[in-house]
């Protein structure tokens, strides 16, 4: 049994507390008012959109998923979804097979791999963003084969193409979250997709038909109807004013990094699937200037959104709790007795002092 004295948020108030834990949190005892001499404890971040980090790209196979998991753990991510790129089936299968061992047994000092976010290839060629041009019609057969290797937790698709509206219902029956994204669909098609079981939107505002007052597009469908949507809060993908708009409209807006192999690395050239991307001044772009994922970390997302005015309860929810809810996870996402001891200790400047994953304090 381990224990730690810390400040943390309990019932919307920051108090000093003693936490006892092993792999899971055994008890939380309130000691009194906030103590400025103690660090601050927050839930470990859950990132549902991670392409890479530490110079490694999920699509590379090999040990890439382990390096990605270790890199993001340094920045407070305690669990994540490995996110694939649009690619031929053989490349996707190779990537899934390489992830299997890390999925079955979490390597030391690594974030927990919860499964896969299949971002493409069932997307619109008109809204590729930084995705390679390997789009194709979605089939249950392809999804089922990959899902048997490592569980797919989220699939991004464009509802307006091929038979994807029908496919949404079938994917949902498998227990997989369908996200609307990389789509040039209309407002009406977005609403229809939600009615058929789609649950969320991929990187809201980016790579989707935009809002116009006479043609609200997929962005409008999300703002008017969504319960869940992910958003990249690097302040480059989405203007702060648009973030505030989304926060007012979507009850369970949550934050992701959409991070690439450039995350945690110096400026230079990196891989994103079959693309070469360029990191410069904190941003990641294709040669033509198109934004290509990010170099964002979840702790930077925390700091960015705190500066935007979000309180600690909202930060905890939008960086951990909502993600757990979306995936139906009842064992993580909050600081609560009986849940995994996934947490981050912060100093007064919100810099990370330590990261604990499933009761293990990581060594970096």
State phi, psi for 241 to the nearest 5 degrees.
-65, -35
Cα gap 90→346, rounded to integer Å: 42
**Could you state, in order of their start, the residue ranges of all structural domains in the chain?**
44-333
Q: Does the pLDDT of residue 274 top 90, yes or no?
A: no
Cβ neighbours of 24 (radius 10 Å)? 16
Catalytic, out of 47, 57, 258, 342: 258
Asked if 33 contacts 7 with a C-beta cutoff of 8 angstroms, the reply is no
Q: Where does the pLDDT of residue 288 fall: very low under 50, low under 70, confident under 90, or very high at 90 and above? A: confident
- Average pLDDT on 8-30 reads 97
- Average pLDDT on 13-26 reads 98
For 284, which DSSP code?
E
**Is residue 246 exposed (0-12), middle (13-18) or buried (19+ Cβ within 10 Å)?**
buried
Give 200-231 pLDDT, tens digit per residue.
Answer: 999 999 999 999 999 999 999 999 999 999 99
Give yes or no: 47 in active site: no
Q: Where does the pLDDT of residue 235 fall: very low under 50, low under 70, confident under 90, or very high at 90 and above? A: very high
Asked if 292 contacts 269 with a C-beta cutoff of 8 angstroms, the reply is no
Give the SS3 label for residue 279.
strand
Give the SS3 label for residue 252.
strand
DSSP string for 28-70 = EEEEEE--TTS-EEEEPEEEEEE-EETTEEGGG-TTHHHHHHH
Asked if 170 contacts 144 with a C-beta cutoff of 8 angstroms, the reply is no
Which residues 6+ apart lie within 8 Å of 3 measured at CB? Answer: 18, 19, 20, 21
Fold classified for 44-333: TIM Barrel (3.20.20)
- The residue assigned the tokens 């294709």 is 286
Q: Where does the pLDDT of residue 281 fall: very low under 50, low under 70, confident under 90, or very high at 90 and above? A: confident
Give the SS3 label for residue 170.
helix
Rg of the chain over all Cα atoms, to the nearest angstrom: 20
C-alpha to C-alpha distances, 82 to 14, 53, 220, nearest whole angstrom: 33, 11, 28
Question: What percentage of the chain exceeds 70 in pLDDT?
Answer: 100
């Amino acid at each position: 049994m381990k224990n730690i004295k810390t400040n943390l948020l309990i019932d919307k108030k920051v108090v000093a507390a003693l936490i006892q834990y092993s792999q899971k949190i055994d008890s939380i005892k309130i000691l009194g008012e906030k103590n400025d001499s103690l660090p601050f404890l927050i839930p470990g971040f859950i990132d549902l959109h991670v392409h890479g980090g530490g110079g490694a790209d999920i699509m590379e196979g090999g040990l890439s998923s382990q390096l990605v998991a270790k890199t993001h753990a340094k920045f407070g991510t305690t669990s994540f979804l490995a996110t694939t790129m649009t690619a031929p089936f053989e490349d996707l299968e190779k990537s899934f097979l390489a992830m299997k061992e890390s999925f079955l047994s979490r390597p030391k000092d690594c974030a927990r791999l919860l499964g896969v976010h299949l971002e493409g290839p069932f997307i619109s060629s008109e809204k590729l963003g930084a995705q390679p041009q390997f789009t194709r019609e979605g089939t249950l057969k392809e999804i089922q084969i990959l899902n048997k290797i490592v569980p797919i937790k989220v699939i991004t698709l464009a509802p307006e193409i091929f038979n994807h509206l029908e496919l949404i219902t079938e994917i949902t029956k498998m227990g997989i979250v369908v996200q609307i994204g990389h789509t040039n669909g209309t407002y009406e098609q977005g609403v229809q997709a939600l009615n058929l079981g789609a649950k969320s939107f991929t990187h809201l505002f980016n790579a989707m038909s935009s809002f116009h007052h006479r043609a609200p597009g997929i962005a409008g469908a999300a703002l008017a109807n969504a319960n869940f949507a992910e958003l990249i809060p690097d302040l480059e993908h989405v203007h702060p004013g648009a973030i505030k708009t989304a926060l007012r409209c979507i009850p369970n807006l949550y934050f992701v990094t959409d991070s690439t192999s450039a995350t945690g690395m110096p400026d230079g050239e990196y891989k994103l699937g079959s693309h070469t991307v360029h990191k410069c001044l904190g941003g990641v772009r294709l040669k033509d200037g198109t934004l290509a994922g990010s170099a964002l970390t979840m702790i930077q997302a925390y700091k960015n959104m705190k500066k935007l005015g979000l309180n600690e309860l909202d930060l905890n929810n939008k960086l951990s709790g909502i993600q757990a809810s979306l995936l139906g996870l009842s064992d993580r996402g909050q600081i609560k007795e009986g849940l995994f001891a996934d947490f981050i200790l912060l100093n007064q400047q919100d810099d990370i002092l330590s990261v604990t994953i499933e009761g293990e304090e990581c060594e970096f």
